[in-house]
Structure formats: C-alpha cells, structure tokens
A and B are shown apart, each in its own frame.
Chain A
Amino acid sequence: NAGVTQTPKFQVLKTGQSMTLQCAQDMNHNSMYWYRQDPGMGLRLIYYSASEGTTDKGEVPNGYNVSRLNKREFSLRLESAAPSQTSVYFCASSEWTGINSPLHFGNGTRLTVT
C-alpha cells in the first residue's frame, strides 16, 4: 500500500516549456487535490476533483489544467511554465470532500522554472 505517489520528484523547466505532474493513489479514495507550497504562503489549493469525472478550481488555478484520468489518477499540467510557478507541488487524496475525511499527501514535486 503505497498511499499517494507523485512523479517526478524534481523537475527544472525553462520558461514556456510544458510538463505534466502525475499523481496516483491506491486507497480507493474518491477525492483528489493539487496544492502548491510556497515559503510564507503555506499550502494553496490549485484544483481538486471531488469524485471521478469532476474537477473544480481552487484558490490559485491560473496557469494550470488538471485531468482526473480515472479514480486512481489525477494529473496537473503546466502548459507554458512561468518562473512564478516555481514551487513544491503536493498531491493529496481523501475518502471524500466531506467531514471526517482527512487528506493523505504525496511526497511532493519540487519544480523550478528558470
């Protein structure tokens, strides 16, 4: 039982390049999330998927797209990377988005955009 797995762990991009961050969970959770973590800003929600087939914007969605490929997988895409997107990205999952359903996090992806 690996929990939440993110790939890659590290990535360096040049401005304007695109990439997709992958996330998979093996806990049969319905809900999945993408957060970014920046110094002094804490964790901010980018997008989430309450259930398979649905996605919703979070606090900071601009510059990102997501795909809930199936119940297990939720990917985050940067179409044209910008230096402001340099951050640590965390994927998380939970049984559902309601009460008594804590988040389980992946190990994070450290992205640098030059």
Chain B
Amino acid sequence: AQRVTQPEKLLSVFKGAPVELKCNYSYSGSPELFWYVQYSRQRLQLLLRHISRESIKGFTADLNKGETSFHLKKPFAQEEDSAMYYCALRPYSGNTPLVFGKGTRLSVIA
C-alpha cells in the first residue's frame, strides 16, 4: 500500500530564509505527486504537482525517485506562506484516490 510521510508537524522559519518541507513516499510503482495548501480560514487548494514541473508562488518540488521524495522548496519565505501543507500521492496505474500525508504547518516569522 502507498504511504506518504511528512516528518515535520511544524516548521518555523524567518521571513526571507529558505524553506524546505519534506515529503517521502513509499510506493513500488510510478506515483503522481501533489502539494496542497490550506491557508487560514480557506479551503484546501492545489499548490503544485510534479507532472507539471511548475513553480507556483515561488515554490518548486522535484520528484526524486531514488530517494522516494518530493520535497517542497522556496528560496525566500514570505509571511503569507504561513499555512498547512499536505503532500499527496496517487499511483499511476488504476483509478485510486489520493493518499495524503499528515501535513506540516509552516510558520513564517517576521
């Protein structure tokens, strides 16, 4: 069975510092990976997905199949980045729902 691990429940960084939210997964096949974000008092929304190889709000994430990781990175954190971040996985084969990690709360300190 597939599993997503986000080892940090809470991550605090200073404004302007680099930030990396870790995500590791266990799945024997090829996964599709996502990062979702939930800002205060807002609904969960898609931040980015590895298939698109995009940068959203300055965030990037690279799929490392060797390390089975999909860490989310931003070179300079902003206060508005403070939110709950969830990593999620879906196997490429078959029609199965997303499996989410437990989430990491990012707090950017001014």
Contacts and interface: CB of A to CB of B under 8 A. Distances in A.
Interface string B31-61: 0101010000001111001010000000000
Contacts of B101: 42
B96 interface: yes
Given A33-B97, A45-B97, A58-B97, A99 B43 contact: no
Contacts of B98: 45, 103
A97 B102 contact: no
A102 B34 CA distance: 8
Q: What secondary structure prevails in chain B residues at the interface with A?
A: loop
B39 to A, nearest CB: 12
Size category of the A interface is: 20 to 34
A40 B97 contact: no
A4 to B, nearest CB: 8
Interface residues of B, number: 24
A107 B43 contact: yes
Contacts of A4: 43
Interface in A4-44: 4, 31, 33, 35, 40-44
Interface of B: 6, 9, 32, 34, 36, 43-46, 49, 51, 86, 90, 92, 94-103
Interface of A: 4, 31, 33, 35, 40-45, 48, 50, 58, 90, 92, 96-100, 102-108
